[in-house]
Chains A and B, each alone.
Chain A
Amino acid sequence: MKRARPFRLLLSLFLVGLLLSVSACGSSSGVTADQNKGDKDNGTKVTLVFQNIYPDASATNHKVMKKIVSDYMDAHPNVKIELDSLNIDQQKTKLKTQAASNQLPDIFVVNPSAQMKPYVDAGLLAPLNDMLEQNNLKQTFQPGILDYYTFGGNVYALPDGNNIGVMYYNKKIFDEVGVKPPKDFNELLDVVKKVKNAGYIPVVIAEKETWTGSFLFMNIVLRTNGGPGFLQDVLDGKKTFEDPAFIEAVDKFEQLVETGAFQDGATSYEYVEAESLFHSGQAAMYYMGTWATGGMETATIKDQVGVFPFPLVDGKGSLNHFMLAPGSAFAISANSKHLAEAKDFLNYFMLQWPKINFDMKAAVGLAQNVDGDFQKAGYSQISIDVLDLFKTVQGGDLAFDNTMEPDTAQVHLKAIQKLFIQKEPPEVIAKEHQDAFNRNYRK
């Protein structure tokens, strides 16, 4: 056994090294506090993990976040904030995995309504009511917006934005073809035909990411239903998916596909790929949430971009109803070891969020009131137009996957994706929806 000892030593060293390297992988890159400051301070050092969806260091949202975080750390030397920056899909998956093993970060991102409900039901989120009262944070939010994050009277998350679904269009192409922004669905079909004949893509869409098609489709439902609340009525048992409003919407959507509204192979396009078709002037229209406005600011066609609300469908609906996209929101883990510090930081973060965003020309589509003159601050025409459109909003619907539980939502998303490649009787699509709904809600 004598000979075994060096090996054992080596082996244990190796394993220790292994552990260290594994834990090193686990810790995230990002802002690190200045060590000296921590030494000066007598208070105990606190590390908060801040999981976010702003991974792109060149993007404005990342810069805004980084500025607020480092300002906060300068003012609070005893607090170190570790950023865990992930892209949207990665963050969703990681958070679910962390929730399953009860290892949530201190602060993280959830999505409104149905998507965050499982976390609330499982008691994983800390109520933020007390913190909202501090420094009048609550008053900075637009009226009603916090409802999407409120369950049983408690607010559980604070949104980073509030957007609406709009149709961006390329004015130069519209002029060339000789059309005006359509007010009704039939006019839209007419615009599609003319644009297509002129050799441009009528409407660009990123249907590999199934939510994009669903977002547009649900805007048609918002019209055929004569106003908001279709999915809520289904949830309340007042309507089914076999309702005429839904059947008509599927039919209209199929007409859009048949007229050749979308680019070839739309179902294989990812978000950035599709958007670049519009940015590079190859497409006439682009249906998207107003968060896309920031990207237009830097595109070469920025002065040609206009915006209009989705048209009425055979006179049904109202141009003042929009698809609403209350943003992803920051929540605090109920089991955080540093609950008080996390709340204090998030309070500061949300107070600064609109100010710093305004300074960095990214204050279009925030969930909070912004003080400042956009025109004077040098925002481009498209941003001003979008802000004007916001003023016309008189309600609307949330996206499908923010309203229904995940399994039903997936059946819906795949069903809409199928419409891009083959025509199906609307009744079949409706039944597919209703079956999935019954399976998940009426069991």
Chain B
Amino acid sequence: MKKTATLLIALAIVLGLASCQPKETKLYIATINDMHANIDNFPKLAYVLDSLRGVHPDLLLFSAGDNRSGNPINDRDSVPSRPMYELMNAVGFNLSCFGNHEWDSGVEALRDVMNIAKFPFVCANVTFDDSLNMPYQPYIILEQNGLKIGVIGAIQVGLNGIPDFHPDHAAGSHFHPIEEVLPEYLFLRDECNALFLLSHCGFEEDVETAEKFPQFDAIFGGHTHTLVDSTRLFNGVMVTQALNKVKYLTLNTFTFDKNGKMIAKESQVIPINKQKNIDPAVKSMVNEFNNNEVFLKVVGYNDAQIDDCYECLGCYMADAARALAGTDMAFQNYGGVRFDTLGVRPVTLKDVCSLDPFDNDLVVFNMTGQEIVDFLGVSFFTDGGPNYCSGCTYTYSVDEQGQMKDCQVKLDNGKPLDLKKTYKIVMNSYMSSAFKFQHEDPGTDIFRSSNEALIQYLTDHQHINYADKHRAIEK
């Protein structure tokens, strides 16, 4: 009798304990992508994350790449991207994958900031030369609330075999098509309660990956700056993305049954831009970065006063683009020069970024002399003024309809432009897209910015003198 009573009590305790066990477990992951060093939104982001963690203390936070590029305060720091990584540490990122822009200051600079990051990087379709000692891994298994969470990293690879960055920056990095690499890591499906792809491949490619690999529970994406504002399933795989520049984040919620099997998933985007509250400690960090003397760093010196002369500074911009691209000629549009006066004084990084705030890429074309003459006419009419140039000078007149005519181009070697010969020229990506000019060659983006060209040119030459520089002369 006594034995039976003991057994009943023990059974009651076991049943009681069992009834206390949660029937379901939730996993919360916040994902963000293409932050592009918009550090000014971090105080708001930090506030939102603190609020979310108040409700979901085990919230994980992932970045789907392109953490940098887009803000000189970050990108031109003495350790490029240090501000972003210190802020990402401060707001508690758990993981990041690489975006193509992570290579913009070269692979060694990427490694240096990865060593600042207090979170790991994953990418399955890149390998590095051993000598680089890159601190990354193809995938990671995180443990949270008794759940094993597998995350594989991926990056976009273009038709030229590398992501969208300048080929000079690829040294020591080797990229592989993601669909060829992923099967190697699908064993994680059996080892983990959840399997995710943290992808910087772009929304359309993520959808294709979802169609081919239903083993993933979700793909957290980036690269195309897409706002996926509700739960979107493709072949059962949830695909998310949260626009760009810290304007949104995605809150992903996964529900598991008592056996650890995922039974539900959903995503919602949370606006960051519209938040009025901020985290004061993070705000203070951002202020410190924005007051960074790096922005006031002297890049070179202007040796002669420039007054009311857009062309003078336009010639500097054209020379800089030509030097970086290594072309025969360069053209800079009239509307792309943002100030016209510069005193005899040191030129700071802030000056350079103010002169050319557009962050355009440089695009190289092979064009015949005739195509170049036509291009000068079209851009004059479209932009409302003459193109500034490097590697040549030209004269022109304007007819009653405001069209350029009688354009005569002379090369720097003194010879006239040969209308039948092909020349290599460079212009910014705004000009290449906006101006309707005939060109057999569609052009090649060299993935270097016009801004970068200005800084490089001034750094290399140290002194510039563009006073009274006129290369486009109206007759």
- The yes or no verdict on A and B being binding partners is no
Which residues of chain B have a CB within 8 Å of any CB of chain A? none
